[in-house]
Amino acid sequence: MEETGWIRRMFEEGMALKKTYGEEHVYDFSLGNPDVEPPEQLQKELIETLTRSPRGMHRYMQNNGYEDVREQIATYMKEQYGLPFTAQHIYMSAGCAGGLNIVLKSILNKGDEVIVPNPYFMEFKYYIESHGGIIKPVDTLDTFQLNIDAVDKAINKKTKAILINSPNNPTGVVYTRETLKGLANLLYKKRKEGHTLYLISDDAYRKLIYDNVELPNIFRIYDLVISVTSHSKDLALPGERIGYIAISPHIDNVDALVSALMFSSRALGFVNAPALFQRVVGRFQRNSVDILDYQKKRDILYNALTAAGFHCVKPMGAFYMFPQSPLKDELEFIHILQKEERILVVPGRGFGKKGYFRIAYCVPLEKIMGVLGGFKRIAQRYITKG
């Protein structure tokens, strides 16, 4: 609990601060809970679906979801990734978190290891451990791109999969084609040596990418890919718990994997993804919330922080930024931020990486404008110009 409690702890400290100083005087950048609303079209579709109210629309369906919805998604995936996805390759899940859990339960045996590039979303650790697996965090490069040599060294007989997340929480980095090709080469090399490894790709932020940065087609770079995504961010539906698993058409015997996923979703208590939102999201695969809005926020905040002297890798996607802490002990630093400027962020150790802190900038623009002065003052006080 110690390591994961950070996001929530900061959130709760924030609530206390808000009570003391008033909401408008607190700058809470601790939670990835976007303030945006779902696309208007989607809200209309939701009302229309409920007004039509087809008989049986709230009943159980197959554990993997409605076939017509999976068909719609498969069509989208086929267009996007140029591979022969069918409805059978799509498995509706209760968001990304639900999808990852049923995938991990389906592929892991007790003691199997899963490599996760560090820093990482701390929940991955729990997801892996819940199903008897062992997490092997592997440090990334200074750019937060994958360190292929380090991944190579971390692979052993027990390694079952590598779990990546791009665009990345907490760094906002998008893995380059070169990086992913390097990873694929390594995994293919291992295959030749008789060791088969899955690539699990958490694609929750895949539509939140700035400056037309390329999101490499992971399904074409490696064959044994299981992608897990959600509509929490792109359609701004985090509370509704809706997402899906996309199994690469390159994976043999997809039926066996789907049966395992069905069993896992029943055994873990998900049973199926929520019915109503399955029906709604099928038609919105090409939509997304306004990216430019996020991009503007990223630009303002990134430019202000770097101008003030913070060291930070420029985020290419998602809505997180992961600057270096000016003080070696980032815990001390975030307490200063909180005390002196009422700015709430999450310490890097909440993501397995001390000496950094995470800013979630999915907040109203006024909050971003309002916080700039605070960061500037803090920088003047604590960043020693070298």
Binding site for another protein (CB under 8 A): 1, 4, 31, 33-35, 37-38, 43, 46-47, 50-51, 53, 55-61, 94-95, 97-102, 105, 123, 126-127, 130, 236-241, 263, 266-277
Based on CB atoms, which residue is closest to another protein, 1 or 292? 1
The dihedrals phi and psi of 375, each to the nearest 5 degrees, come to -65, -35
Least distance from another protein to the Cβ atom of residue 57, Å: 8
CA 332, 307, 304, 352 torsion-angle sign: negative
Based on CB atoms, which residue is closest to another protein, 63 or 140? 63
User: Would you call the peptide bond into 249 cis, given omega within 30 degrees of 0 as the criterion?
Assistant: no
CA contacts within 13 A on the Cβ side of 369: 5
Least distance from another protein to the Cβ atom of residue 93, Å: 9
Q: In the 8-state DSSP scheme, what is residue 31?
A: -
CA distance 19 to 16: 5
The dihedrals phi and psi of 271, each to the nearest 5 degrees, come to 65, -65
Least distance from another protein to the Cβ atom of residue 89, Å: 20
Alpha-carbon distance values, 152 to 102, 115, 138, 183 (Å): 26, 10, 10, 9
Based on CB atoms, which residue is closest to another protein, 133 or 182? 133
Least distance from another protein to the Cβ atom of residue 267, Å: 4
Q: Which two tokens stand for residue 208?
A: 């939140």
Based on CB atoms, which residue is closest to another protein, 32 or 182? 32
Least distance from another protein to the Cβ atom of residue 350, Å: 14
Based on CB atoms, which residue is closest to another protein, 294 or 356? 294
Least distance from another protein to the Cβ atom of residue 295, Å: 21
Least distance from another protein to the Cβ atom of residue 275, Å: 3
CA distance 6 to 360: 14
Based on CB atoms, which residue is closest to another protein, 263 or 382? 263
Query: Which residue is listed with tokens 């960043």?
Result: 383
Q: Which two tokens stand for residue 273?
A: 């993804």
Q: First-to-last CA distance in the chain?
A: 38
Q: In terms of residues, how long is the chain?
A: 386
Based on CB atoms, which residue is closest to another protein, 238 or 355? 238
Amino acid symbol at 97: A
